[in-house]
Amino acid sequence: MSVVAIIPARGGAVGRLGADLVRVGGATLIARAIRAARGSAAVDRVVVSTDDPVVAAEARASGAEVLVRPAELAAAPAGVEQLLLQVLDALGEQPGILVVLQSTSPFIAPTDLDAAITRVAARECDVVLSAVPTRSFLWRAGARGLEPLGHSPAAGSRREEAPAQFEETGAFAVLDARGFRRARHLRFGTVAVQPVDPRRAMEVVDDADLSIAQALAPVFASDERVDVDALVTDFDGVHTDDRVSIGGDGLERVTTSRSDGMGMEFLRTAGYPLLIVSKETNRVVTARARKLHVDVRQGVDDKAAVLEAWAKTRGLSLDRIAYIGNDLNDLASMGLVGWPVAVADAHPEVIRAARIVLTRPGGHGAIREFAERMLRTRTAASGEGCAQLA
């Protein structure tokens, strides 16, 4: 039974943000939705339906198939059911299960998708909706004022004793495909819910939501597996604490971390390509790179161009490179790679652009922290024993 994930995306149509293309945790919302779908062990294909060429390009770059939405469905009144039916007609196959993801929900967990798919595949239900439990006292407007919804005021007001209800988040729905074709709407047959972490339930529709999502992103990234092929770092503010002292001889001196150096050594020994890119030209950078036995580029005004050229020379895919930065001149490079990373004391704009925000500041173990995450991911993937990281 094949499982197809479908992500409807209409560029610029949500709120005033053009929400599918805004970034949370270093990735656009459409890319995050695709990542969630591709992260599911049960999903066979990921398809984005859109009328926006920029969204389409981003979707393809993120690993999804794209179906261009017909003009008659591109208008705002077109419902999701119409879009899904059009995608089904265009797929060239009849999937057993449909997974519909909302691109403006940035924190969909692949494990939640897997759990919902398992229930539909087992014929336990026809539909599983993403939901959060609530015991809130709800009211609705009636002919004589407000009326209680799902509770009795006469029964007292102990919230913990109220019957559990569920609120749809809209983040995803898992459907029996044949049943959907017959019903032609999403909530048919036997409906169940997949309870999700309430923090993952948010939707980004305006600037306030975006600020909250950007603050939450590092929380969910803290246990994310770091599956990358190479590491590139800035120097000042990453290998150092961004301070400099000037001696009586006029020479600059900085302090670096032996722990960070050990982290770089672990990565080099494990075979990871490593690069230091620095705006400044300074012999301390040369000396540190020589000691670490890693590539270095100095006096660089356009770090992104240097990074791109280095990756091409090495035969590396940009979406499998991590870049650790701390300041505004790192943003372009961070925007190129699949794994933009910020040290704990980075500029606020850099933190907002990062997929991962480290817990340690520059020059105080940030590189070691990330190196250990890279190595743990590789060790887990290989099924080998724990790497020696201490």
| pLDDT at residue 137, rounded to an integer | 78
Q: Is residue 202 part of a domain?
A: yes
Identify the residue with better confidence: 363 or 10.
Answer: 363
Alpha-carbon distance 236 to 242, whole Å? 5
Domain shared by 64 and 158, yes or no: yes
Among 218, 240, 266, give the residue marking a domain's end: 218
| pLDDT at residue 74, rounded to an integer | 57
Domain shared by 304 and 234, yes or no: yes
Q: Is residue 224 part of a domain?
A: no
Domain shared by 254 and 196, yes or no: no
Domain shared by 318 and 377, yes or no: yes
pLDDT digits (tens, 9 = 90+) for 249-288: 777 788 999 999 999 999 999 999 999 999 988 888 999 9
| pLDDT at residue 280, rounded to an integer | 86
Paired residues of 24 in beta bridges: 27
Q: Is residue 352 part of a domain?
A: yes
**Mean pLDDT (whole number) for 378-385:** 71
Confidence of residue 367 (pLDDT cuts 50, 70, 90): very high
Domain shared by 150 and 265, yes or no: no
Residue labelled with tokens 């035969």 = 315
Q: Is residue 389 part of a domain?
A: no
Q: Is residue 367 part of a domain?
A: yes
Which residue range is the domain that position 41 belongs to?
A: 3-218
**Mean pLDDT (whole number) for 83-89:** 90
Angle at 93 between CA 90 and CA 97, to 5 degrees: 105
Confidence of residue 14 (pLDDT cuts 50, 70, 90): very low
- The domain tally of the chain equals 2
Average pLDDT, the chain: 89
Domain shared by 245 and 160, yes or no: no
Q: Is residue 225 part of a domain?
A: no
Domain shared by 159 and 272, yes or no: no
Among 186, 218, 250, give the residue marking a domain's end: 218
- Identity of the amino acid at 191: V
CATH of the domain at 258: 3.40.50.1000
**Mean pLDDT (whole number) for 344-364:** 93
Q: Exposed, middle or buried, 362 (CB in 10 Å: 0-12/13-18/19+)? A: buried
277: left (phi over 0), alpha (psi -120 to 50) or beta: beta
| pLDDT at residue 17, rounded to an integer | 52
Is it the case that residue 335 has pLDDT exceeding 60? yes
Among 164, 193, 218, give the residue marking a domain's end: 218
Identify the residue with better confidence: 160 or 243.
Answer: 243
Coil/strand/helix, residue 156? coil
Domain shared by 205 and 312, yes or no: no
Q: Give the residue ranges of DSSP H helices in the chain.
A: 29-39, 53-61, 71-74, 80-91, 110-121, 177-183, 207-221, 258-269, 283-292, 303-314, 331-336, 348-353, 366-382
Q: Is residue 189 part of a domain?
A: yes
Is it the case that residue 156 has pLDDT exceeding 70? no
Domain shared by 248 and 330, yes or no: yes
Alpha-carbon distance 233 to 144, whole Å? 65
Q: Exposed, middle or buried, 381 (CB in 10 Å: 0-12/13-18/19+)? A: exposed
Is it the case that residue 43 has pLDDT exceeding 90? yes
| pLDDT at residue 223, rounded to an integer | 72
CA 237 from chain centre, in angstroms, equals 25
Confidence of residue 384 (pLDDT cuts 50, 70, 90): low
Is it the case that residue 363 has pLDDT exceeding 90? yes
CATH of the domain at 162: 3.90.550.10
258-269 and 366-382 helices, crossing angle to 10°: 30
Q: Is residue 38 part of a domain?
A: yes
pLDDT digits (tens, 9 = 90+) for 176-196: 999 999 999 999 999 999 999
Strands 23-24 and 138-142: unpaired
Is it the case that residue 77 has pLDDT exceeding 60? no
Residue 75, token pair as written in the block: 């208008």
